[in-house]
C-alpha cells in the first residue's frame, strides 16, 4: 500500500463530514510531508506542517523550518503539533485548524484549482508558488478521483494469478503468471477510458504473493469488485470458464453473467460455462468477486491463441466490456490535443510545412502517381507515415503524398511532452 492509499480513507472521511476536498488534503500531505518521509511526518505524525498554536494543547515538536517573508526565504525555529496518529492529524486539520473563520471561503469548494488558490490566499502557506504546486500534484497523481467518492467511484481490484516463485500453469512455452499479468494490465489500461473508476492490481510485476495477501489487499482497499485472472491447465481441457463463490449475492451473479457474455463475444474459446467454486479469492473477499480461466495453457490450440498479442487484447476487451455493463461505466469525453493551431489526430506522427510551391500526389490503382494540386507556402499538413518510394514521400492522409524535397518542405516531429499526452488520450 503506497502513501496516498494509506491516507486516502482519512481524506475522504473528512471531505464527507467537513467539506474539505480530499484531493486538496492529499496533495498537501504529499507535498508537505514528502510522501510521509519528512522529519515532522516520521517523528510527529504531522503531514501538513501544522504549528502548535491555540487551540492546540497537545504535545509539541520543535524544529527549524523555512518561511517566505518579504520576498525572500528565511529559516526560523518553530513549534509544531505532535499527533498520536495520522488520522488524528487529518481530524485536527479538518475539524479544528481549517474551521477557523478566515478559512471559511474554503468550505464546500468543489473545484480543486480554486481550493488550491483559496487555501494559499487564506494564509496557509507563504510560498507564492504553493497553489500551482498543489494543482500539479493533484493532476500528476490523479487525486481528483478521490473527490468523487462523495458520489460513487467504482473501485475494481484486479488480481493477476500466481507470480514470483509460483509460475502457475506451464505449457507450450508459456507461463500462466506472465499471461495473467499481461491481461490484467491491459484491462486496467483500457479502463482508463472510463469515468469514475479506479483500478488497483495486486501485483505490478513478477512478485510472489500468498492468496491471503491478495484478498487482504482488496479488503483493506475497500474494493467494490474483485477480478482474479487465471489460465487453466488440465489434460484434455480447452476453452473459457469463470467462477463465483456458491451462495453469492445476486449482484455477484449479475456481474458474472455480464463479464462471461462479453468475453465470449470477443474470443472463440469453447464456452465451458458459468460455474461456482469454493476458491480462496472468492470466499475470503468481502466484495463481489469473479475468477476467470482464460483458455488452457496445455492445449495446443488454446496456447496458440494465447501467444497472439491481438488475442490477448480481445480477452482483455471482453473483460472490460463486461465491467462496463456490470457497473454502467461511462466513457470519458474524447480530449482534443492541439499542436500549435491544429488538432493532433490519432495516428499522426508529425507534420510538414510547405516552404515553396510543391505538388500534392495521389496514387491510382496501378500504383502510378497522379498530381492532385500544387501546395502553397505556409500550408501545414498532418503526417501519418513515410515511404521510401519516389524519392521518399510523406503520407498526409486520404492516399495523398508529399515528396521529401529539401528547401521545399519542413518536417517536424512532436515533443516528448505532446507524445506523452497522445499516448494517454489515444492509447
State the pLDDT confidence band at 198, using cuts at 50, 70 and 90: confident
402 pLDDT above the threshold of 60:
yes
- B/e letters for 152-180, b = 16+ CB within 10 Å, e = fewer, are ebbbbbbbbbbbeeeebbebeebbbbbbb
104 pLDDT above the threshold of 90:
no
pLDDT at 245: 97
Collapse the DSSP code of 203 into the 3-class scheme (helix H, G, I; strand E, B; otherwise coil) and give the result: coil
Residue of 227 and 78 predicted with greater confidence:
227
Look at residues 277, 298, 258, 52 and name the one whose alpha carbon lies nearest to residue 174. 298
- Is residue 188 a contact partner of residue 201, using CB atoms and an 8 Å limit? yes
pLDDT at 232: 97
The residue whose grid cell reads 474539505 is 20
381 pLDDT above the threshold of 90:
no
- Three-class DSSP labels, 332-384: CCCCCCEECCEECCCCCCEEEEECCCEEEEEECCCCCEEEEEEECCCCEEEEC
pLDDT at 152: 66
User: Is residue 204 annotated as a catalytic residue, yes or no?
Assistant: no
Task: Give Cβ neighbours of residue 232 (< 8 Å, ≥ 6 apart).
Answer: 169, 241, 293, 294, 295, 296, 297
The answer to whether 3-150 and 154-327 have equal CATH topology is: no
In order, the DSSP letters of 163-188 are BTTB--SEETTEEHHHHHHHHHHHHH
Q: What angle do CA 227, 190, 337 make, to 5 degrees?
A: 155
150 pLDDT above the threshold of 80:
no
Instruction: Give me the residue spans of the domains in the chain.
Output: 3-150, 154-327, 338-425
Count how many Cα atoms sit within 13 Å of the Cα of residue 105 in the half-sphere of its side chain: 12
Kindly state the percentage of the chain with pLDDT values over 90: 55
pLDDT at 17: 63
pLDDT at 341: 62
Instruction: Give kind and range of the element (H or E) at residue 62.
Output: strand 60-69
Q: What is the CATH number of domain 154-327?
A: 3.40.630.40
Label residue 195 left, alpha or beta by phi (over 0 means left) and psi (-120 to 50 means alpha): beta
Q: What is the CATH number of domain 338-425?
A: 2.60.120
pLDDT at 284: 96
Out of 51-65, 288-302, 376-390, the most confident range is 288-302
The fold adopted by the segment(s) 3-150 is: Lysozyme (1.10.530)
34 pLDDT above the threshold of 60:
yes
Phi, psi of 275 (to 5 degrees): -125, 175
Kindly state the percentage of the chain with pLDDT values over 70: 95
pLDDT at 5: 87
- Residue pLDDT, tens place only, 71-85: 777 788 888 999 999
Average pLDDT over residues 326-342: 76
Average pLDDT over residues 361-388: 88
Phi, psi of 172 (to 5 degrees): 55, 35
427 pLDDT above the threshold of 60:
no
pTM reported for the whole predicted model: 0.54
pLDDT at 1: 61
Q: Catalytic one among 5, 262, 293, 424?
A: 293
State the pLDDT confidence band at 344, using cuts at 50, 70 and 90: confident
Give me the count of residues in the chain. 427
Amino acid at each position: 500500500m503506497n502513501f496516498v492509499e494509506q491516507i486516502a480513507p482519512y481524506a475522504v472521511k473528512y471531505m464527507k463530514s467537513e467539506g474539505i476536498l480530499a484531493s486538496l488534503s492529499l496533495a498537501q500531505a504529499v507535498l508537505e510531508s514528502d510522501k510521509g518521509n519528512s522529519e515532522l511526518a516520521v517523528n510527529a505524525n504531522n503531514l501538513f506542517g501544522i504549528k502548535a498554536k491555540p487551540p492546540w494543547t497537545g504535545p509539541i515538536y520543535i524544529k527549524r523550518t523555512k518561511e517566505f517573508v518579504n520576498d525572500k526565504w528565511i529559516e526560523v525555529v518553530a513549534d509544531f503539533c505532535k499527533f498520536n496518529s495520522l488520522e488524528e492529524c487529518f481530524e485536527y486539520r479538518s475539524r479544528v485548524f481549517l474551521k477557523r473563520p478566515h478559512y471559511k471561503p474554503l468550505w464546500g469548494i468543489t473545484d480543486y484549482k480554486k481550493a488550491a488558490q483559496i487555501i494559499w490566499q487564506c494564509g496557509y502557506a507563504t510560498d507564492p508558488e504553493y497553489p500551482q504546486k498543489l494543482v500539479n500534484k493533484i493532476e500528476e497523481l490523479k487525486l481528483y478521483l478521490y473527490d468523487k467518492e462523495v458520489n460513487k467511484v467504482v473501485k475494481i481490484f484486479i488480481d493477476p494469478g500466481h507470480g514470483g516463485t509460483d509460475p502457475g500453469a506451464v505449457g507450450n512455452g508459456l507461463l500462466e503468471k506472465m499471461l495473467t499479468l499481461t491481461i490484467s494490465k491491459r484491462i486496467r489500461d483500457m479502463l482508463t477510458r472510463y469515468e469514475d473508476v479506479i483500478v488497483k492490481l495486486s501485483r505490478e510485476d513478477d512478485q510472489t504473493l500468498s492468496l491471503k495477501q491478495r484478498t487482504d489487499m482488496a479488503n483493506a482497499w475497500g474494493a467494490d469488485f474483485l477480478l482474479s485472472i487465471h489460465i487453466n491447465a488440465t489434460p484434455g481441457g480447452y476453452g473459457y470458464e469463470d467462477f463465483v463463490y456458491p451462495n453469492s449475492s445476486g449482484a455477484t451473479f449479475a456481474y458474472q453473467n455480464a463479464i462471461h457474455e462479453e468475453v465470449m463475444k470477443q474470443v472463440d474459446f469453447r464456452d465451458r460455462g458459468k460455474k461456482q467454486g469454493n476458491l480462496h479469492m472468492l470466499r475470503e473477499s468481502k466484495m463481489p468477486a469473479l475468477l476467470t480461466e482464460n483458455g488452457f495453457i496445455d492445449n495446443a490450440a488454446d496456447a496458440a491463441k494465447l501467444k497472439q498479442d491481438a488475442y490477448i487484447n480481445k480477452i482483455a476487451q471482453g473483460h472490460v466490456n463486461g465491467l462496463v455493463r456490470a457497473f454502467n461505466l461511462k466513457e470519458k469525453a474524447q480530449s482534443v490535443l492541439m499542436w500549435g493551431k491544429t488538432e493532433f489526430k490519432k495516428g499522426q506522427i508529425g507534420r510538414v510545412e510547405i516552404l515553396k510551391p510543391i505538388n500534392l500526389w495521389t496514387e491510382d490503382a496501378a500504383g502510378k502517381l497522379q498530381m492532385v494540386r500544387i501546395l502553397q507556402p505556409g500550408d501545414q499538413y498532418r503526417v501519418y507515415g513515410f515511404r521510401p518510394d519516389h524519392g521518399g514521400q510523406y503520407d498526409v492522409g486520404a492516399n495523398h503524398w508529399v515528396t521529401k524535397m529539401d528547401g521545399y518542405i519542413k518536417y517536424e516531429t512532436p515533443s516528448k511532452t505532446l507524445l506523452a499526452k497522445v499516448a494517454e488520450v489515444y492509447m
